[in-house]
Copies of this chain bind each other. A is one copy, B any other.
Amino acid sequence: MTSTNIDLALVQSFVDKHRTANRPIVLVTSGGTTVPLEKNTVRFIDNFSTGQRGAASVEYFLERNYIVLFFHRLSSTLPYQRHLKSIFDESQSNQSYHLDQYHKFKTSLLLIPFQTVTDYLTGLEQLCSLLKSFKRSALIYACAAVSDYYIPNDELTEHKIPSGQNELIIRLKPVPKLLGSIKGEYAPEAFVVSFKLETDEKILEEKCLQSADKYNQDVIIGNMLKTRTNQVRIYERFDKLWTTINRMPEKEIEYQIIELLSEKHRIYQMNMN
């Protein structure tokens, strides 16, 4: 596993090309970040995330006229690609529809991969800073599953941890929390949306409110590991408003999430742009 660096010149030229079109722009972060346990990385800690939510959301943002930067875990789910069958899957499906959609929207979409949590944090700052000049037209939609703990680079061992010991103890430090820096520094006028994933229903609301207090996102979306494709709880910080979305039949829940968010973002842009 190797580090990824963002080709900032490429991102800048993509962004500049679309700047005059007066369209909203979204940064979607997606997939889990890795925490290497060795410098020559064989072992790493990962966060469970298929990247399905991010990939689906990208498609719905594109349908709502957004320019999309898709900052995703390498090899996680990709928009459009996710609908194409494996050769081992012999079911029937309408692949040509999704291929057509891809070709319709591809010039508005830029794929930017990451792997480690360090690469993610560096990239998040760079990409948000690049969107700063879009002011209220920028939306940051952070659904990547970011590691909470990591081993700082100067504490990493060079080679593969030896096997054959009676116990292996791994000491991890908290990952610096940069979510608050988005509104605080990187892109203060952007509309910022982040996710909270929990496994214990009792603490979900409380965790969302704590997050809002700490990081000043405009919207926090709470979801439970087991029901995340069927229900989300959306909290708007400014209005102190909770909305529950239950999935409609024959639609992915991301369709409704993006429908709601793009409307909130539209109003946000009108307020002071």
Q: What residues make up the interface of A, taking CB atoms closer than 8 Å to B? A: 1, 34, 37-38, 40-48, 78, 80-81, 84, 86-88, 99, 102, 111, 145, 147-149, 159-161, 163-174, 197-200, 225-226
How many copies of this protein are present in the complex? 2
With a cutoff of 8 Å between Cβ atoms, the chain B residues found around residue A199 in the complex are 38, 40, 42, 159-160
The DSSP consensus for interface residues of chain A is loop
How distant is A39 from chain B, measured CB to nearest CB, in Å? 9
16 CB contacts below 8 A, A to B, read A37-B45, A40-B226, A41-B48, A43-B47, A44-B45, A81-B86, A81-B87, A87-B99, A88-B111, A148-B163, A148-B164, A148-B168, A149-B161, A160-B200, A163-B174, A169-B170
- Contact between A87 and B84, CB atoms less than 8 A apart: yes
With a cutoff of 8 Å between Cβ atoms, the chain B residues found around residue A161 in the complex are 148-149
| Residue from the list B38, B170, B225 in contact with A40, Cβ < 8 A | B225
- Contact between A174 and B166, CB atoms less than 8 A apart: yes
How distant is A32 from chain B, measured CB to nearest CB, in Å? 9
How distant is A31 from chain B, measured CB to nearest CB, in Å? 12
For the complex, what is the distance from the CA of A150 to the CA of B155, rounded to whole Å?
21
| Residue from the list B45, B171, B200, B226 in contact with A169, Cβ < 8 A | B171
How distant is A92 from chain B, measured CB to nearest CB, in Å? 17
For the complex, what is the distance from the CA of A86 to the CA of B98, rounded to whole Å?
13
Given contacts A148-B161, A148-B164, 19 further A-B contacts (CB under 8 A): A42-B47, A42-B145, A42-B197, A42-B225, A43-B48, A44-B45, A44-B46, A45-B45, A78-B88, A87-B102, A159-B200, A160-B197, A160-B198, A160-B200, A160-B225, A164-B174, A166-B173, A166-B174, A167-B174
- Contact between B171 and A149, CB atoms less than 8 A apart: no
With a cutoff of 8 Å between Cβ atoms, the chain B residues found around residue A166 in the complex are 173-174
With a cutoff of 8 Å between Cβ atoms, the chain B residues found around residue A198 in the complex are 160
